[in-house]
A and B are shown apart, each in its own frame.
Chain A
Amino acid sequence: MDSEESSRPDPAYLLPTVVQSAKILVVGPFGVGKTTLVGSVSEIEPLRTEEVMTQASAGIDDLRGLESKTTTTVAMDFGRITLSDTLVLYLFGAPGQRRFWDLWEGLVVGAVGLLVLVDTRRLDDSFEVLDQLEERGLPFAVAVNQFPDSGRFSDEDIREALDLLPTTPVVHCDARDPKSSLQALIALVSHVGNRSLQETPA
C-alpha cells in the first residue's frame, strides 16, 4: 500500500553542520522565468509545495461550503544553495498577482529580500507587485529576464517605465544561466546590505 512512498527518492539532505537558513523570494507573473531562475542556481532539483489558500468569503461553519470551491491551491517552486558549511539559502518562486499576496505574507517575514523578475514584453504585469513592495517598504531589486525575442531596453527606459525609486537596483539577466542568475541575487543582497547599514545608526 505504500508502494508510491517507497519508490519516492530520498530527500537530498543538508550537511549536518548547517545551522542557519536564509531565504529570498523571486516574484513575478506566470511565465516570467521564476522557476527557471531558481532551477539554474539550485543545488537540488526544484521542489514544489502546495499551499491551500482559503477564500476570504469561506464561512468556517459552512460544511456545505467546504465541499465546494472555497479554497484554492497554489503551487510554489523552490530550490536551495548551500553557501557555506553552516549556511543554506532557500529561493522561492512566488506568483506576483494580487490574489497571491496572502501566500507570501508569511513567506516574506525574515526574508533577505525579493527579486522581482520582469519581462520587457509585458512590463505592465509587474506594476501592481512593485507598488505593493514599495508601499510596504520591503527590500527588492528588479531583474529583467532577457528573452530571445524581447528588445533591448536601457536601464533608464526600464526605470522610467516601471517608475522605480533611484535607489532600486535594476539588473539584466538570463534566468537560464546560473552565473547571470547569481549576479542578480548578488545585486539584491548588496542592495539590502547597503540599505540596512544606512538604517542602522553608526
Chain B
Amino acid sequence: MTAADRPGGPVRPYVITRGRVQPPRRLPVETLLEATGTADPLPVTASRHHRRLLSVCRNRLALVEAAAHLKEPVSVVTVLVGDLIDSGHLTVCSSAPLASDRPDITLLQEVLDGLRRKLSA
C-alpha cells in the first residue's frame, strides 16, 4: 500500500494528482458533472481517488460539491475530473463557460426571477 492509497492518511495534493497542478481545461467550481454510465473500464492509471470521484458523480452535482463530499481540495478534484472527462467516464452537464468572465443579462434575469419566486414562495 502506497502513501497515496492509505485511507485517511495525510496525502499531499500533488501526490493524488501525480504532480500535476494545472487542469487541462477551464472547469469553474460550479461546473455540473455526471457520470456517463459507460461500461468501459477506468484506465489502468486510475487511482482510488478517481473511483471515489466517479462514484460520487453517479448523479448530477457541481464539481465543488463532489470535492466537499470527497473531502479533497477543489484544485485536486479539478485535475481528477479532467482525467475522467478525457476517459469518457464523466460529462459536463452545464453550458460551456462564456467568452466573457461575467454572466450575460439573460442569466442575470433568470437568477433574479428565481430568487423572487423563492421569496414569494
- Find residues 57-71 in chain B having any chain A CB closer than 8 Å to their own CB: 59-62, 64-69, 71
Classify chain B: how many residues form its interface, as a range.
35 or more
Let me know if B102 and A81 touch, CB within 8 A. Answer: no
Instruction: Say which residue of B7, B73, B119 sits within 8 Å of A51 (CB atoms).
Output: B73
Closest A-chain residue to B34, C-beta based?
A16
Question: Which has the most chain B C-beta neighbours within 10 Å: A20, A21, A111, A200?
Answer: A21
* Residues of the A chain whose Cβ atoms lie less than 8 Å from the Cβ of B114: 81, 83-84, 87, 89
Interface hit among B37-45, B81-89, B91-99: B91-99
**Is A202 an interface residue when CB atoms closer than 8 A count as contact?**
no
Distance in angstroms from A139 CB to nearest chain B CB is 8
Nearest B-chain residue to A13, judged by Cβ: B59
Q: Find out whether the CB atom of A109 lies under 8 angstroms from the CB atom of B101.
A: yes
Q: Which residue of A lies closest to B59 (CB)?
A: A13
- Contact across chains for A49 and B62 when beta carbons are under 8 A apart: no
Return A178 CB to nearest CB of chain B, in Å.
8
Interface string of A72-94 (1 = CB under 8 A from B): 01000010110110011110100
Bound-state CA distance A2–B5 (Å) is: 12
Contact A112 B73 (CB under 8 A): no
Interface residues of A in 173-202 (CB under 8 A from B): 179, 182-183, 185-186, 189-190, 192-193, 196-197, 200
B19 → chain A closest CB, angstroms: 10
The complex places the Cα of A14 from the Cα of B114 at a distance, in Å, of 16
CB pair B12–A66 under 8 Å, yes or no, is yes
Given contacts A84-B114, A110-B28, contact A51 B109 (CB under 8 A): no
B32 in the interface (beta carbon within 8 A): yes
> Can you give 6 contacting A-B residue pairs, CB < 8 Å?
A47-B64, A47-B69, A51-B73, A81-B118, A89-B115, A109-B101
